[in-house]
Amino acid sequence: MEQVQTRFKRLVFIHKVAFICNIFFALCMVIRYSHADTVIPQPIVELTTILGWLFSPAINLISLCVSFVVVLKRGKGLSIPLWLIVVNVVFFVLQIFYFFLS
């Protein structure tokens, strides 16, 4: 039982990291379509770009696939807050549209 709780804590942590990377993805969109890169220091722009463009889709895909497999395997819901899953799914759909369909 303790091992199952540890796995869910890790899954919640992965979803939280994906949420933070999704915020950086939104910041990348703001920086790209505005002149904010002239005001923001260059290291912050670079960090935002790495976390937003590179890590956000990958971590979203990993967290959502693992959650899907856990739900299918257990047959029950997850102990992750619903708003966190919904926000990650919405951002993942936006990333798919932005990277592959635009």
Residue 45, token pair as written in the block: 């722009």
Express each pLDDT in 55-76 by its tens digit.
999 999 999 999 998 888 887 7
pLDDT of 54 reads 93
pLDDT of 35 reads 87
> What CA–CA distance (Å, rounded) separates 90 from 76?
22
Number of independent structural domains in the chain: 1
Q: Which residues of the chain have pLDDT under 50?
A: none
Contact, 56 vs 91, CB < 8 A? Answer: yes
For 30, the domain range is 2-100
Contact, 24 vs 54, CB < 8 A? Answer: no
DSSP string, the chain: -HHHHHHHHHHHHHHHHHHHHHHHHHHHHHHHTSSGGGTS-HHHHHHHHIIIIIIHHHHHHHHHHHHHHHHHHHSS--SS-HHHHHHHHHHHHHHHHHHH--
